Amino acid sequence: MAEQLKDVIKQEYIKSAKDPAYFLRKYCVIQHPIKGKVPFDLYDFQEKTIDEFEGHRMNIILKARQLGISTLTAGYALWMMTFFQDKNILVIATKQDTAKNLVTKVRVMHANLPSWLKQRCVEDNKLSLRYVNGSQIKAVSSGPEAARSEALSLLILDEAAFIDKIDDIWTASQATLTTGGQCIALSTPNGVGNWFHKTWVEAEDATGMFNPIKLHWTVHPDRDDDWRQEQNVLLGASGAAQECDCDFLTSGTGVIDAVLLENLRKKECKEPIEKRGIDSNCWIWEPPNYTKKYVVCADVGRGDSADYSAFHVIDIEKVEQVAEYKGRISTKDFGNMLVSISTEYNDALLIIENNNIGWATIQQVIDRDYPNLFYTSKDLRYVDVQHQLSNKYRTTERNMVAGFSTTMKTRPLIIAKLEEYFRDESVVVHSNRLIDELLTFVYVNNRAEAMTGYNDDLVMSFAIGLWVRDTALRLQTEGIELTKKTLTAMNQEGVYIPSDNNNGEWDWDIGKDKKKESLEWLL
């Protein structure tokens, strides 16, 4: 009898070691939120997913909510640790608690295994579990150093679309996976343009290293149309599309609607007619037309290898992007480039954001005596202008500073203007680089900014250009319009009152003494 039992155990051990789905279904217990501990009865789609794990080193899973895929992945990790020596498994998630939850799932399954299957633990805490056979699993939160460890047998990226700095994490992990390690990246969608979305698209197109596994809500046998309608009520139409339908375009918190951006990409984006510079990063779609007016809007990077400088050339009348640059360049060289491109495009109004390092580039432009540099009024913080005088004496007299000031007051204005132009589909964009940045430009705590690990240099410079262009056109078509509030801020002793004149000049009466003052400097 004892020998028969030993033989049965031996056969079961061998069968479980060869077949992870069999091991999970027959010997693993999971924690159900209502029923408590229950057997892990795998659904067909879960068994097929296990087969995919076995058949491919790199797997990316685009999943609907509440399909038990995190639990399935935990079970697969337990199987590896139980039947193989020295398996090193790392779980990375946005938050340490999220990563810890997956380790907890492993711990629950381990605790309920039959004694003849259960490996002896030499380390057991909230964040890690290590067996006497040398296999272990540990959980860490996201960070650039998260994957910089010893060689990994399996890297699990849980809710990968939401992990900060995942591009850096993935780059760092390459060295740890070179010995044949596996990777499972699983998530619901979270907008487009991020690492998870791009990696999924590459997997679907068979151009990347990952095997795509898509798990739509319909794969679950217990869900029907009534359940799907309930999710619309619980999550809203957009949330349900993200969480149930695996819809990238309706997911995330993008400033600009992703569907609109992708349609714009298909309709307007194209290869430039010319790529200039040593780095070929200055792209030209339309040469200067000497009958047109242009604006050049620029964002200045630090001038090192970790930051970008960017500019756009925009046709004022058509609101069309005709040229663009994004590259790593010194502040002095960037200033020279801006003078060159602005001169080429009919002495375009040159707008340079004057925050931080921008002053170095602005000084280079001033030293070159560029005749149409944008100046900001210290009183107004921003100026609605089409053209301004760059005479040093006049700008000093009028309390002006070179460049555009992005402040707590002006930032929401330019972002709102950016959103308005794209919502109304009244802007023409040719650059895929700009579209890519816009897709990762999201609201974080009600502030519009790039997703962690991404850039918004092209976005912010474009937004500034659109805002100035818009206010400039209004001046051109409607004349100068200033509110009492603004005018009062400019002069606390009174407000500007227009006076009639016969010479066509813009003269205004100012203050209590009603002294005439010309406003030609605004034109």
The 8-class DSSP code of residue 420 comes to H
Q: pTM for this structure?
A: 0.65
Average pLDDT value for residue range 469-483: 54
Q: Where are the alpha helices (DSSP H) in 410-456?
A: 410-423, 432-439
Binning pLDDT at 50, 70 and 90, where does residue 509 land? low
pLDDT at residue 516, rounded to an integer: 57
The 8-class DSSP code of residue 302 comes to -
Average pLDDT value for residue range 237-252: 77
Beta strands 320-327 and 282-284: pairing type? Answer: antiparallel
pLDDT tens-digit series, residues 397-421: 456 788 888 888 888 889 989 999 9
pLDDT tens-digit series, residues 39-71: 999 999 999 999 999 999 999 999 998 899 999
Q: How far apart are CA 253 and CA 239, in angstroms?
A: 11
Question: For 256-357, where are the E strands, in sequence order?
Answer: 274-276, 282-284, 294-299, 309-315, 320-327, 349-352
Which domains are present in the chain? 16-243 (3.40.50.300), 258-480 (3.30.420.240), 482-523 (no CATH)
| Better pLDDT: 301 or 68 | 68
The 8-class DSSP code of residue 256 comes to S
pLDDT at residue 398, rounded to an integer: 53
Question: For 12-166, where are the E strands, in sequence order?
Answer: 29-32, 36-39, 58-63, 88-93, 121-125, 128-131, 136-141, 154-158
For 220-249, the DSSP string reads STT--HHHHHHHHHHHHHHHHHHHTT--ST
Question: Could you give the angle at the alpha carbon of 446 between the alpha carbons of 444 and 449, nearest 5°?
Answer: 45
pLDDT tens-digit series, residues 177-228: 877 899 999 999 888 778 998 899 899 888 889 999 999 999 999 999 899 8
Query: Own/partner pairs for 13-18, CB < 8 Å, 24+ apart?
Result: 13/116, 13/117, 16/79, 16/83, 16/117, 17/83
pLDDT at residue 335, rounded to an integer: 94
* Residue 448 exposure: Cα atoms within 13 Å on the Cβ side: 23
Q: How far apart are CA 364 and CA 357, in angstroms?
A: 12
